[in-house]
Amino acid sequence: MSKLVSPEELLRQTEYMKKCEDILKKTFVNRQPICYVHSYGCQGNVADGEKIKGMLAEMGYGLSNSAEGADVVIFNTCAIRENAQDRVYGNLGMLIHYKKKNPAMIIGLCGCMVQQDHVARRLKEVFPGVNLVFGTHVIHQLPEFMYNILSNSSKIYNITESNGVIAEGLPIVRESNFKASVPISYGCNNFCTYCIVPYVKGRERSRSFDSIYSEVKELVSNGYKEIMLLGQNVNSYGSDLDSGVNFSYLLSKINEIDADFRIRFMTSHPKDATKELIDTIARCDKVCKHLHLPVQCGSNKILKAMNRKYTVSQYLKIIDYAKNKIPNISFTSDIIVGFPGETYSDFKETLKLVEQVKYSSLFMFIFSPRRGTKAELMSDSIPKEEKSRWLSELINCQNEISAKVHESYVGRTERVLFDGVGRTNDNMLTGRTDTNLVVDCEKFNLKIGEFADIKITKAHRMALVGELV
């Protein structure tokens, strides 16, 4: 059962924001203090980063999109693979360099990477320039931490685990004014043997139906066009609540909100992807016809070692059910190559599965041992170079499939939400179909943040080209 951070505690933090504002007004007489918040990793982290920005903005900080010259820099870190952590250490080196020019700069690190004891310890020992280290369970206490730093220059290291609390009602500065992420649950109970998430984010806890529903309602009444419902496993939403709600019910109710918007969600764990879920996607007109269903591997032996709790045939069954129910549905997935004990013949089974499903795109990773997970201790005899060759083989295989999936769209008319300027050409806008494929289109008569019906005229391997109907 999730516990809410008490209203008294939230009020106490609001008071700290006010106290910080008072100090900052006295310290920065001629200019507004500036902060820079950077979130690494998943969309859940980006959503946390929006709350961190929200709290700093309440204290009076202006938001910058560069660390250079900022008075406060917060890195909201990721621990999912070693390279995510290496990137943080690399960028921290650059921050320390900025701090030499501006010794008053406050450097804070939070998120999954610092929730690990060994990382928090290393930061304390090796990076004395870091003022603030706070874990994933105490984000709502940022105002108090900032007050202590601003008022008596203390250093703070707080990675306390809360046994699962949810802080509702924190201020949020959103990255976009037409696409919003709405967390529906935090943490994870699945303990896939390779994964650090359950250790750094804690046990799964669902937000109440009412909090999610009213947040979405407010967003769409403010003109938001795309709502992304987020959880490590959205399919188990509600299993810890006594209200009897599940994810399909949540989707159906949000779908009933009267406004022009689309609903996305991630991530669905295949073991909990039910026919009810597929039927709900099929029935709800606002729910996008795209399913991100991470399979991780196509070998039953490795799936078992990963503790994924489904077999290849169970996975394919739900995929087939979805293909039959929703003819134009697109699938994406995550795949780990080179899990301990995986042989080339196991890997070939992954290739076979990928060819069978025909994903529109894939996120592919080489296994990265994470400290404290079961897989870290499993014997792993395949050299890195060999795993890289397997990865290239998978990428090549998927490239061909992606190209074919994209080609199949030529001639179709798709509703596209435009979300940015073209990556290579300023005269183009780029957006996504309901099925989550990228579409580039001439800017003329189109607007970022709006839907348009686009006739697909050409397909590249990873993107479509179209024109306004």
For helices 142-152 and 43-59, what crossing angle results, to 10°? 50
363 near ligand SF4 (CB under 6 A): no
User: Considering the rule CB under 6 A, would residue 279 count as an interface residue with ligand 5AD?
Assistant: no
Burial class of residue 442 (count of CB atoms within 10 Å of its CB; 0-12, 13-18, 19+): middle
Q: How far is the CB of 370 from ligand 5AD (least distance, A)?
A: 5
How many whole angstroms separate alpha carbon 24 and alpha carbon 46? 26
Interface with ligand 5AD (CB under 6 A), residue from 112, 195, 277, 288: 195
3-state class of 144 per DSSP? helix
233 binds ligand SF4 (CB under 6 A): yes
Q: Which does 190 bind (CB under 5 to 8 A by kind): ligand SF4, ligand 5AD, none?
A: ligand SF4
Would you say 456 and 409 are in contact if contact means Cβ atoms under 8 Å apart? yes
Interaction of residue 192 with ligand SF4, rule CB under 6 A: yes
Q: Does 365 bind ligand 5AD (CB under 6 A)?
A: yes
What is the closest distance, in whole angstroms, from the C-beta atom of residue 168 to ligand SF4 in the complex?
23
* One-character DSSP codes across 239-280: TT-SS---HHHHHHHHHTSSSS-EEEEE---GGG--HHHHHH
User: Residue 367 binds which one of ligand SF4, ligand 5AD, none, with CB within 5 to 8 A depending on kind?
Assistant: ligand 5AD
Please report how close the Cβ of residue 162 comes to ligand SF4 at its closest, in angstroms: 18
- Nearest Cα neighbor of 372 from 118, 134, 158, 186 is 118
Q: Give the shortest CB-296-to-ligand 5AD separation in angstroms.
A: 6
Residue 351 CB, shortest distance to ligand SF4, in Å, is: 21
Look at residues 327, 253, 260 and name the one whose alpha carbon lies nearest to residue 289.
Answer: 327
Binding mask 2-41 for ligand 5AD (x = CB under 6 A): ----------------------------------------
Residue 370 binds ligand 5AD (CB under 6 A) = yes
Contact region with ligand 5AD (CB under 6 A), list: 26-34, 181-189, 258-266, 364-372: 364-372
102, 91, 38: which is closest to 69 by C-alpha?
Answer: 102
CA–CA distance, 107 with 96 (Å, rounded to integer): 9
Give the bridge partners for 454, in sequence order: 414, 468
Which residue among 134, 186, 213, 367 contacts ligand 5AD (CB under 6 A)? 367
Q: Mask: binding to ligand 5AD, 220-259, rule CB under 6 A, as x and -?
A: ----------------------------------------
Report in angstroms the alpha-carbon separations of 345 from 342, 351, 432: 8, 10, 36
Residues of the shown chain interacting with ligand SF4 in the complex, contacts defined by CB under 6 A: 188, 190-192, 195, 197-198, 232-233, 269
